[in-house]
Structure formats: C-alpha cells, structure tokens
Amino acid sequence: MRFKFRGGVSQPNSDTIEKFLLFCIDTKKREIPFSTAKMYGLLREVGPYEFEAVGNIIGFKVFAHRFSTHSMRRNLEVFIRPEMQDNSPIITVKPFSMKLEFYFEGRGQIVEGDEFGIKRPKKLSDGIPQTIIDEMVKVAYPTDGVRRIRMKAKD
C-alpha cells in the first residue's frame, strides 16, 4: 500500500503543542512508530512524503494530540486498514490546527482498534465535537467511470 504522510511535533502558538504521529500495526498486532518502521525496512520511501508498506503491515494508526494551557487535552486516534484496489476510498487525516502542513493520505477503510486487537478503556475521541472530527477526517470515494447525466426540462 502506498500512502502520503507528513507529521511531527509543532507549536502553533505560544501556549499550544500539537503532535501528529503515525504508527504501523504489524501481524503480531504491535504498534510500531513510523520512524522505527522506516529504520527496520517495513516502510520504503518512494517520493517526497510518499511511502510504501513493504513489511508485514496490516494497518495504521494516525494519532493527533493537542495540549494547550487554556483548554483541555485532546486526542484523536484513527485506525486504517489499507486496501490496494483503485476503487477504495481515499482517507485524509489532518491535525487539530488545520494551518499545519501535517497530513496522512491513503486508500483504505476506517476501522475500530478492536479489529487489530488493540483494546482501549474508552474512545480517545470522546469529548471532541463531531464537527471538528469531520474537518479532520475526510473519506473521498473515487468517481472514475461514472458519467454525469444532465437533465433538461421539457418544454
């Protein structure tokens, strides 16, 4: 599976710190940090910010974290099962601060962490308004091969 990823740690303003991280999930259901997966050859760089999973990767976890002195701590985890078909939806995940140039983009399905055997006591997205989640996580379905039909009114 090929995907695009640009992440890291940023300080958008003087009192806020944001992290946008990627973890690879292997066949033993272990969460491997992005940099470690690159170091051990599970990911291969094929272009600027474009990578290909070449190891035993069965999924990805995109983790967005925001900590501010004026507001509460917020975390969002998105689990993605990669798919290779051209008609698979394209998933785009962005950090809390939309101004940052961090992102994840790849083909797949959004799934629960239980599918990979990852148990959490509660959802980390609890307390985040749905409108913010909808801005951060976008799912686009390909429209190749679909023709538009223009309807004309009868006189």
Render pLDDT for 100-140 as a digit per residue (tens, 0 to 9). Answer: 899 999 999 888 877 877 766 555 555 788 888 889 999 98
Confidence of residue 12 (pLDDT cuts 50, 70, 90): confident
Q: What is the reported pLDDT for 32?
A: 94
CA dist., res. 140 & res. 7, Å (int): 21
Q: What is the reported pLDDT for 148?
A: 54
Which of the pair, 62 or 124, is modelled with greater confidence? Answer: 62
* pTM for this model (two decimals): 0.83
For the record, the structure tokens of 44 come out as 């291969």
Q: What is the reported pLDDT for 150?
A: 59
Give yes or no for residue 94 having a pLDDT over 90. yes
